[in-house]
Structure 1
Amino acid sequence: MGNSLLDLEESGVSYGLEGLKIMIYGGNTLGKTPQAMRFPKPLLLMGESGGSALKGYKKLIKSKKVFIDTVKELTDDKNLDSMKDKFNTIVIDTIEDIIELFEIAICKQYGVSDVGEIQQLEKGNPNGYSVYRKEFKQQINLLTGCGYTVVFIAHEECVQIPTGENDKDGNAITKDFIQPKGSRGDKSSSRFIRDICDFRFFVMSNGIDKETNKTIMSKAYCVQTDAFYAGSRFNVKPVINPFTAENIIEAIEEAQKSSAEEYDAELVVYSRNTDNYTKEDYLVDIKPYMKKLYSLYPQLVLDIIENQLGSDKKVSDATEDQLTELETIYNNLVDLATERGIYVDTEE
């Protein structure tokens, strides 16, 4: 599948909010979600009840299925233009809550209370962490690949990291370091989110005004220090003070211009990457996996197809409007083969 590398054209530096992935993390009551909801045409996907003090479009995500159905609705090619007319920004609050829903779902599927028990439960069972992380990553990639500005809200956590020095007994000296919650492990879903984001803002309190006894608006950092994690792919200024949506947007656009100047590149508006795959392309690539896996795991294969196309549907029943569903089926079959150590000859 795919176009020839010879057809590629040199690209410039993206300008504007469209297609950006932004992480905003920090402690409670710092204005993370209220400011994210001041981005253009926002939709708030809430991982837990709340948001009653916020004006705007909001949807409670109560389960993995609800999240997947919501992503499907937001990314369906048939409705994408209409969706993007109504929503420019998708705010996910919090990303830890959504990750937990994927963990809960796979535990229910295998009848265990902890993801780590899945592989131990029965010989041949997959690594539970690997499975739910792949499913989560797949949904996030779908959502972030359609041109929305996706803002991930996360809490902070304080971890111990080595300073590179040892004490008099030879033990490593550590220090406090603040980072997005759950992102310490290289393979964690939270780490995946922070790594794909174009801008990663750490929000910190400015304290209380001693004269008025009112909270001073927070500030946001986008350059990492010895004390906390932050960063960007662009030449962004290190501190945005006060932390407001307007100031964040201005800083992003200035950073994009600065990066374009550094690389002597043109500023270009977002353009969705469409590889022009056809239904026939997907059917050809799916066929060898179906042939190999159905004889070994018929119910798992049927579940993969049913989850995308509905009950009693065959892959060949898919329409030209269901290319996203066919891509998901293909990816899930490849994942199944990989997890079970099954070699599939795609040249047959």
Structure 2
Amino acid sequence: MSLDIFAPSKSVVSKGLFGKKIMVYGFNDLGKTYQTSRMEKPYFLSFEKGLSAIDGVPFANIKKWSDFTKVLKQFARNSEKAKELYQTIIIDGTDIMAKYCEKYVSNAYGVNRIKDGNEGFGLWKELETELFFAIDELISLDFTVVFIAHEMVESKDSDRKVPKGDKRLMPLIQDNCDYVIYLKGNNVDEDNNVILSSAYTVQTDEFFARSRFTQTPPFIEEFTAENLEAAIVEGIEKESKVQGFSLVSEDEKRNVYKETKLNYDELMSEIKQVGGQLVEIDKLDEMNNIAEKQLGIGNRVTECKKGQEEVMSVILDEMKELLEEAE
């Protein structure tokens, strides 16, 4: 993505379900796992055993935090290959994620519990940081992502239903979801057959729910994968007509939001080129000051290693500014 305030990128909205981030939550046995397993080309990250009664669904059995991060890295590094197989990544058991992360951070710092770390002050900031970067990487993946969670009451002073989970994790997920959908059971019919649960996309005094698209139907009578997709598509299309904007394809949206990757070799080559120009005009001291501001006294940008591309990019920008000012 170009970073130029005088030639900005313009936000766009894509058609359909692909790329959307969705949370589905509610009580047990409402069809959360089954219906999401019927979404387009699913892949489950199973923190709980919701797939034990469903056959033939690709999944990873997540039993520790490193399992989760390993799968994320595979999706990130092999995105195009993964898209040939999968379209929807489903996190089953969202409320369990933070527990695995707590254990991981505690082990990393050599303590049994988060609150025992940092000489008794706790490792809460370290936990928040680990959760943030993992969720950020997950939602940055170019897939539809569905989070499945249980429900709980909001507080001792409120009976309103909200997604269950750690207070450091759930806001990260909810704030980045296009939809938070609450499921409510409908018991059985006169023949004792289970009636499909209903889905809500707008909050009430009874439960929390929301949609970024105000034209999304507030109520889905029968929660199925097909009905969920139809409601989302309908809401997006109506929103575009009401707001007066055109929808784009997912490929067009991907091009708009495409991230510029920093390449070490290319950065170092340009740094040396610009650095040579600065030396020629007697700006060596100023150039070294720029490097030391970012890297510390006595350190030079030409000594940077792979993994330091971001700070190299910042230094290069300041070197270019220095060169422009001198011309």
Q: Which secondary structure does the structure 2 equivalent of 1:316 belong to? A: coil
Letter in 1 for 2:210: G
- Give secondary structure in 2 for the equivalent of 1:176: strand
The answer on whether the counterparts of 2:94 and 2:165 sit within 8 Å (CA) in structure 1 is no
TM-score, normalized by length of structure 1? 0.73
**1:147 has 2:134 as partner:** no
How far apart, in 1, do the equivalents of 2:245 and 2:259 lie? 24
| Cα distance in structure 2, aligned partners of 1:326 and 1:102 | 28
1:263-342 equivalence runs, <5 A: 263-270=243-250, 271-272=253-254, 273-280=257-264, 291-292=295-296, 316-317=305-306
1:107 matched to 2:90: no
Matched, 1:61 2:62: yes
Identify the residue that residue 39 of structure 2 maps to in structure 1. 39
2:237 maps to a residue whose letter is: K
Shift of 1:23: 0.1
Three-state SS of the structure 2 residue aligned to 1:29 is: coil
Identify the residue that residue 177 of structure 1 maps to in structure 2.
160
Greater helix share, 1 or 2? 2
Q: How does 1:188-337 map to 2 (within 5 A)?
A: 188-209=168-189, 211-234=190-213, 235-270=215-250, 271-272=253-254, 273-280=257-264, 291-292=295-296, 316-317=305-306
Aligned-partner Cα distance in 2 for 1:41–1:175: 39
The one-letter amino acid of 1:4's match is D
**Using the alignment, how far apart are the partners of 2:151 and 2:73 within structure 1?**
29
Equivalent position SS for 2:199: strand
CA contact 1:182–1:191 (8 Å) conserved in 2: no
TM-score (normalised: structure 2):
0.78
Q: Is the 8 A contact 1:13 1:259 kept in 2?
A: no
Aligned to 1:340: none
Aligned residues: 283
- Where does structure 2 lack aligned partners over 5 or more consecutive residues? 272-290, 312-316, 320-327
Sort the Cα spacing of 1:128 and 1:288 in 2 relative to 1 into closer, same or farther, 3 A.
Answer: farther
Task: Write the deviation string for residues 201-244 of structure 1: whole angstroms up to 9, x where unpaired.
Answer: 001101121x2112111001110001100001002111101000
What percent of counterpart residues are identical? Answer: 32
Instruction: Provide the secondary structure at the position in 2 that maps to 1:268.
Output: coil
Q: Which amino acid aligns with 1:220?
A: A
Name the SS of the counterpart of 1:39 in structure 2.
coil
- Which residue matches 2:322? none
Report the alpha carbon displacement of residue 138 of structure 1 after superposing the two structures with TM.
Answer: 1.4
Contact 2:50 2:92 in 1 (8 A): no
The one of 121, 125, 129 equivalent to 1:130 is 125
Q: How does 1:110-121 map to 2 (within 5 A)?
A: 110-121=109-120
Question: Residues 282, 206 of structure 1: CA spacing in aligned structure 2 closer, same or farther, 3 A cutoff?
Answer: farther
User: How has the CA–CA distance of structure 1 residues 326 and 28 changed in structure 2, closer, same or farther, with 3 Å as cutoff?
Assistant: farther
Partners of 1:233 and 1:225 lie apart in 2 by 16
The residue matched to 1:13 in structure 2 has which SS?
Answer: coil
How far apart are the structure 1 equivalents of 2:45 and 2:83? Answer: 16
User: Which residue number in structure 1 is paired with residue 87 of structure 2?
Assistant: 88
- Quote how far apart the aligned CAs of 1:288 are: 6.6
Structure 1: tracts of 5 or more residues without a match = 162-173, 296-313, 319-324, 331-345
8 A Cα contact 1:12 1:267, kept in partner: yes
SS at match of 1:7: coil
